[in-house]
Amino acid sequence: MTSSAFSLTRNPLGQLVLTKVGAGGMAHEGVTPVRAFALTAPDTSISLMSAEGKELQWIDSLDNLPENERHLIEEELTQREFMPIISRILSVSSFATPSTWQVDTDHGATALILKSEDDIRRLKSPGGLLIADGNGLHFMIRDRRDLDPHSQRILKRFL
Amino acid sequence: MTATDTLPEGWQAALPPLNAGESLLAWLELDLDAKLSFRSSLVALTNQRILTATESWPLTATAHLHHVDHAGVGMLELDDGERMLARWRYTLGRNPAALHFEREFNRQRDSRASGLPPPAPVAAACPICQLPIPADEEECPNCARELHTPPSTWVLLRLWRFAQPYKGMLLAGFLLTLAATAATLVPPYLTMPLMDEVLIPYQNGKPIDTDKVAWLLGGLLGSAVFAWALGWARTYILALVSERIGADLRTTTYEHLLKLSLEYFGGKRTGDLLARIGSETDRINVFLSLHLLDFATDVLMIVMTAIILFSINPWLALVTLIPLPIIAWLIHMVRDRLRTGFEQIDRVWAEVTSVLADTIPGIRVVKAFAQEAREAHRFRDANKHNLEVNDRLNRVWSLFTPTVGLLTEIGVLVVWVFGIWLIAHDSITVGVLTAFLAYISRFYARLDAMSRIVSVTQKAAAGAKRIFDILDHVSSVPDPVKPVALPPLKGGIQIENVHFRYGNRAILRGIDLDIQPGEMIGLVGHSGSGKSTLVNLICRFYDVSEGGIRVEGVDLRSVAVADYRKHIGLVLQEPFLFFGTIAENIAYGKPDATRAEIVAAARAAHAHEFILRQPYGYDSLVGERGQSLSGGERQRISIARALLIDPKILILDEATSAVDTETEFEIQSALNNLIRGRTTIAIAHRLSTLRRADRLVVMDRGRIVEIGNHDELMAREDHYYRLYMAQSKQLDELPALGMSA
């Protein structure tokens, strides 16, 4: 696939710059990588979008990219696609919503506000849950059956 | 906000000492670090620099603070135009503080660049409801409360406000409850003499004293009838009161809701609001009239029974009552477990119905793609889940009633054992034991019902909270405390440096426009350029974030809203007709209009003739069920509606874009009647409809970019020219496609 040849760099402003080979060498500043299937296939199917929201480059899989490009994209993605994974539910303020949960995540301990039970979405993967917090952040539970019994007991009241 | 001691609790030591003459202007508590872990830190803004615990950056004229948010994470980026200097992240709960930080930064930076002292700070507004936020709070107390507070049972006490008018009836109801409960306690008491003075002496060989028997049995019957009558009166009065409280609650909530700004309605789902006013008030109503009443009666009964029992024999009473709390607690425990189970069943049930709700409306798609088997499978799966949950619950549930029965029997057994022991020691008579047994079985039977009160109370509390959420919401377009009387309007409007922000998006950025009385202004621009927002501000559906709008020299915010809107006629893109007759719809803004006025308005709106073609003329029904009118006809009715109130200011928001060109022509001539002699502000996508405008105002991204009449603007060959050319080209190419995007 020669048409997909491109290079990525980071400019001093911290933005990604995409230069497509063979398209007059035009550089696009402020490129953002976006996961097309953020939940089901996070590491494949990535699109590079321009600052204006136009797709510039489609990437089937990160594995096929040169080291530099892959590193930059992964770096940018971890900065953008923030989805803490809940490892423990410590306590909840009430079983009626809105309820404030104290949780442990892979990004440290924090609190989330569950506005209504509808904000808990069951994922296709068995036991997987996506919890939308009142402020728009999404928390994930990989498999609720792997949580400790205390967390499971709390969670059950909301499912 | 000038000294370090105003920093939030626990952060005073987080910053290095400030320089002389340096003052703190804003700060932001970050809750994410550079690796996106949840860790708090602080970034602060002073009049000289931005600083954190370890670093600082001077405020130079080229410094730029950039705000973005994505997927619940907000980010502030600081750069000097060439290089990125720093980046701070936070969850969106901190967004209001971050926006405030950015605003303060821009003010300082701009004053540095221009050399002028910074302009006065702007009061921060809530990004959700647009109410100004008190200086000492970070987020809007209004919205935060709705988001964070779980329903508490104490909310129910606030219902007292609605109960107060019925104090007298409530007192009567309470006294009746007291009397009715007392009356139901008489029969067991009468079994005592019946046993001790009639039946046992008879067994011992004495004849039956018929007089006494008649008197006792009469007492039994009398008390039963008395209890029946009192019970009826009590239930009737209290049901009356609770129904009235419910009705008051509903109307008050609805009246309050109507006064709230459009902003509030924009952020809520209609179904949710309907449910709050409809079913939630009903649930509270049922709670008050049934559950609370029953519970109160039961408590009264237990207290009164206890008094009677103690007065007969304290020792037996003690033994009788001791197991009671234990049994009550056990029942409550089981019920609690059941409740979570029932809640789960509710949710699973919702899952089953949602499969149906998904499939049945989409049945054409299901059949077209031949996916019947898959949908059946999905339904079977949901049902299987339902079965599993039910099975699990039924294990507990099937135990419940027998367990309550068993516990009751054990309680009664304890009374038997101790009673027989007391009789054997001649402390009590058989009659006393019989009476005790009669009393005790009564309230054991009520224990189960009483244990339900916890969950119904919680549900009612949740409902009450949702209603008070509406009642506590203050309109973001408040009426002034002392409204200024509006002078007679000539129709001039002065718009001065108007800014408007919706959420965290700036929609209008400094609009200046002086509209002369009787002038017709056409607002032109791409969608999203702020035309409709400007019109909404002129109608005062929203309040400006900065700047001001004045009519006859009076700021809109200082006049009563209803007073001002009387002078505004509004014709919308989608004319809304209420259910009712055509005449009622035309006279909506002036209910006391005469028939002659209505007909005159309809004639001017070119609606008279088609109205006469309706089966009952002006008395034909339209609205929800009368869908027989076409879009253009509905539009002309709404034009007649605007004409009838004879407004000084007329607003046409895309009034003709939903109809075809032929109808547009008719509406156009109706509009020409409407416009005459009034200040008119018209928005139209089809530029041809605005040719008559005295001035065209071209807007782009929240700013006015051009003003002038059609010919002037065409000659200028800039924004308007491009819009116009793009449209006429499209018209040539795509005559069949709607231009009314």
d(CA B521, CA B93): 41
Residue A82 has its nearest CB partner, among B31, B73, B147, at B73
Q: Are B276 and B253 in contact (CB under 8 A)?
A: yes
In which element (H, E) is residue B285 found? helix B281-286
pLDDT value for B732: 58
A136 and A97, same domain (yes or no): yes
Q: Are B663 and B655 in contact (CB under 8 A)?
A: no
Taking only the tens place, the pLDDT of each residue in B117-150 is 665 555 555 544 444 555 445 555 545 545 555 5
Which residues of chain B make contact with A157, given a CB cutoff of 8 A?
Answer: 340, 343
A53 and A96, same domain (yes or no): no
Mutate to test the interface with B, among A74, A135, A153 (most CBs of B within 10 A): A135
Q: What is the ipTM of this complex?
A: 0.82
Residue B232 binned pLDDT confidence (cut-offs 50, 70, 90): very high
CA dihedral B434, B438, B441, B445 (to 10 degrees): 170
Please identify among residues 15-74 of chain A the ones whose CB lies closer than 8 Å to any CB of chain B. none
On whether any CB of chain A is under 8 Å from the CB of B454, the answer is no
The count of structural domains within chain A is: 2
Taking only the tens place, the pLDDT of each residue in B501-554 is 766 567 888 888 999 888 889 998 887 788 888 988 888 888 887 788 888 888
Closest residue, chain B, to A120 (C-alpha): B347
d(CA B644, CA A71): 68
What three-state secondary structure class fits A159? Answer: coil
Q: Are B406 and B319 in contact (CB under 8 A)?
A: no
Q: Are A50 and A28 in contact (CB under 8 A)?
A: yes
d(CA B611, CA B616): 9
A8 and A76, same domain (yes or no): yes
CA distance B389 to chain A (A): 11
Q: Residue B237: pLDDT above 80?
A: yes
CA dihedral B143, A115, B274, B271 (to 10 degrees): 120
Q: Are B66 and B77 in contact (CB under 8 A)?
A: yes
Q: Residue B716: pLDDT above 70?
A: yes
d(CA B79, CA B337): 57
Across the interface, whether the CB atoms of B340 and A156 are under 8 A apart is answered: yes
CA separation, residue B463 to residues A64, B123, B277, B457, B697 (Å): 56, 34, 10, 10, 49
For residue B410, the Cα-to-chain-centroid distance in whole angstroms is: 49
Query: Worst-scoring range by mean pLDDT, A98-107, B233-242, B684-693?
Result: B684-693
Which residues of chain A make contact with B149, given a CB cutoff of 8 A?
Answer: 98
d(CA B553, CA B555): 7
Residue % of chain B over a pLDDT of 90: 3
d(CA B441, CA B448): 12
Across the interface, whether the CB atoms of A109 and B70 are under 8 A apart is answered: no
Tally C-beta pairs within 8 A across A and B: 80
pLDDT value for B659: 63
CA separation, residue A79 to residues A13, A45, B22, B40, B161 (Å): 15, 18, 34, 17, 51
CA distance B68 to chain A (A): 11
Across the interface, whether the CB atoms of B91 and A135 are under 8 A apart is answered: yes
d(CA B290, CA B284): 10
Which residues of chain B make contact with A115, given a CB cutoff of 8 A?
Answer: 147
pLDDT value for B218: 92
pLDDT, average across residues B420-427: 88
pLDDT value for A2: 37
On whether any CB of chain B is under 8 Å from the CB of A83, the answer is yes
Residue A108 has its nearest CB partner, among B37, B71, B148, at B37
Q: Are B533 and B502 in contact (CB under 8 A)?
A: yes
Query: Worst-scoring range by mean pLDDT, A39-48, B524-533, B723-732?
Result: B723-732
Across the interface, whether the CB atoms of B344 and A159 are under 8 A apart is answered: yes
Across the interface, whether the CB atoms of B148 and A113 are under 8 A apart is answered: yes
Query: In this structure, what token pair is assigned to residue B318?
Result: 């003690």
d(CA B337, CA B199): 47
d(CA B30, CA B28): 6
Taking only the tens place, the pLDDT of each residue in B323-371 is 778 777 877 777 777 767 777 777 777 778 777 877 887 788 888 888 8
Long-range contacts of A19-27 (CB under 8 A, 24+ apart): A20/A56, A20/A57
Closest residue, chain A, to B458 (C-alpha): A96
Instruction: Please identify which residue in the block is written with the tokens 């609205």.
Output: B623
User: pTM above the 0.80 mark?
Assistant: no
CA distance A22 to chain B (A): 28
Mutate to test the interface with B, among A29, A82, A93, A114 (most CBs of B within 10 A): A82
Residue A12 has its nearest CB partner, among B83, B93, B147, at B83
Which residues of chain A make contact with B39, given a CB cutoff of 8 A?
Answer: 108
Residue B172 binned pLDDT confidence (cut-offs 50, 70, 90): very high
Query: In this structure, what token pair is assigned to residue B531?
Result: 């035309």
Across the interface, whether the CB atoms of B151 and A96 are under 8 A apart is answered: yes
CA distance A93 to chain B (A): 8
Which residues of chain A make contact with B462, given a CB cutoff of 8 A?
Answer: 96
Q: In what order do the strands lie in the sheet with A99-105?
A: A86-92, A99-105, A108-114
Q: Are B102 and B74 in contact (CB under 8 A)?
A: no
Find the domain containing A122 and state its range.
86-156
Average pLDDT value for chain B: 80
Please identify among residues 51-70 of chain B the ones whose CB lies closer than 8 Å to any CB of chain A. 70
- Cβ neighbors of A81 (< 8 A, separation 6 or more) are A35, A38, A42, B71
A46 and A101, same domain (yes or no): no
pLDDT, average across residues B700-712: 87
Please identify among residues 131-190 of chain B the ones whose CB lies closer than 8 Å to any CB of chain A. 147-151
d(CA B377, CA B667): 54
A10 and A69, same domain (yes or no): yes
Among A80, A100, A120, the domain-final residue is: A80
pLDDT, average across residues B8-28: 76
pLDDT value for A18: 86
On whether any CB of chain B is under 8 Å from the CB of A110, the answer is yes
pLDDT value for B717: 84
Q: Residue B620: pLDDT above 70?
A: yes
A111 and A140, same domain (yes or no): yes
Taking only the tens place, the pLDDT of each residue in B72-128 is 788 888 888 788 888 888 887 777 778 788 888 888 888 877 777 665 555 555 544
Which residues of chain B make contact with A91, given a CB cutoff of 8 A?
Answer: none
Taking only the tens place, the pLDDT of each residue in B256-293 is 888 887 777 766 666 667 777 877 788 888 888 788 88
Among the listed residues B200, B91, B273, the one whose alpha carbon sits nearest the alpha carbon of residue A110 = B91
For residue A46, the Cα-to-chain-centroid distance in whole angstroms is: 12
Instruction: Out of B149-158, B476-485, B713-722, give the one with best mean pLDDT.
Output: B713-722
Query: In this structure, what token pair is assigned to residue B387?
Result: 């079965």
A48 and A118, same domain (yes or no): no
Q: How many CA atoms lie within 13 A of A140 on its CB side?
A: 17
Q: DSSP string of B175-211?
A: HHHHHHHHHHTHHHHHHHHIIIIIIHHHHTTPPP-HH
More confident residue, B137 or B491: B491
pLDDT value for A15: 83
Which residues, in sequence order, are bridge partners of residue A19? A7, A27
Among A45, A80, A115, the domain-final residue is: A80
A73 and A14, same domain (yes or no): yes
CA distance B67 to chain A (A): 14
CA distance A25 to chain B (A): 22
Mutate to test the interface with A, among B40, B73, B140, B456 (most CBs of A within 10 A): B73
d(CA B654, CA B671): 12
Residue B731 binned pLDDT confidence (cut-offs 50, 70, 90): low
Query: In this structure, what token pair is assigned to residue B477?
Result: 């377009």
Across the interface, whether the CB atoms of B148 and A109 are under 8 A apart is answered: no
CA distance A2 to chain B (A): 33
In which element (H, E) is residue B135 found? none
Closest residue, chain A, to B95 (C-alpha): A135
Residue type, A24: G
Closest residue, chain B, to A76 (C-alpha): B35
Residue B460 binned pLDDT confidence (cut-offs 50, 70, 90): confident
Neighbouring C-beta atoms of residue B614, cutoff 10 Å: 18
Q: Are B355 and B379 in contact (CB under 8 A)?
A: yes
- Cβ neighbors of B247 (< 8 A, separation 6 or more) are none
Residue B72 has its nearest CB partner, among A12, A14, A137, at A137
Q: Are B607 and B640 in contact (CB under 8 A)?
A: yes
Across the interface, whether the CB atoms of A14 and B79 are under 8 A apart is answered: yes
On whether any CB of chain B is under 8 Å from the CB of A121, the answer is no
Q: Residue B229: pLDDT above 90?
A: yes
A136 and A72, same domain (yes or no): no
Closest residue, chain B, to A15 (C-alpha): B84
Q: Are B284 and B161 in contact (CB under 8 A)?
A: no
Residue B82 has its nearest CB partner, among A12, A107, A137, at A12
Closest residue, chain A, to B462 (C-alpha): A96
A114 and A52, same domain (yes or no): no
Across the interface, whether the CB atoms of B347 and A83 are under 8 A apart is answered: no
Query: Worst-scoring range by mean pLDDT, B536-540, B542-546, B626-630, B632-636?
Result: B626-630
SS3 for B472-517 is HCCCCCCCCCCCCCCCCCCCCEEEEEEEEEECCEEEEEEEEEEECC
A76 and A90, same domain (yes or no): no
DSSP state of A136: S
Query: In this structure, what token pair is assigned to residue B143?
Result: 């919205």
Q: Supply φ then ψ for residue A91, to 5 degrees.
A: -160, 160
Q: Supply φ then ψ for residue B138, to 5 degrees.
A: -85, -40
Q: How many CA atoms lie within 13 A of B480 on its CB side?
A: 17
Query: Worst-scoring range by mean pLDDT, A4-8, A110-114, B588-592?
Result: A4-8
**Paired sense of beta strands B695-700 and B520-524, if any:** parallel
A15 and A45, same domain (yes or no): yes
Q: Show the domains of chain B with their CATH numbers.
A: 4-138 (2.30.29.30), 149-291+459-475 (1.20.1560.10), 492-567+691-736 (3.40.50.300)
CA distance A75 to chain B (A): 10
Q: Residue B740: pLDDT above 90?
A: no
Across the interface, whether the CB atoms of A14 and B38 are under 8 A apart is answered: no
pLDDT value for B503: 60
Among A33, A51, A80, the domain-final residue is: A80
On whether any CB of chain A is under 8 Å from the CB of B269, the answer is no
Q: Residue A87: pLDDT above 80?
A: yes
Residue % of chain B over a pLDDT of 70: 88
pLDDT value for B170: 87
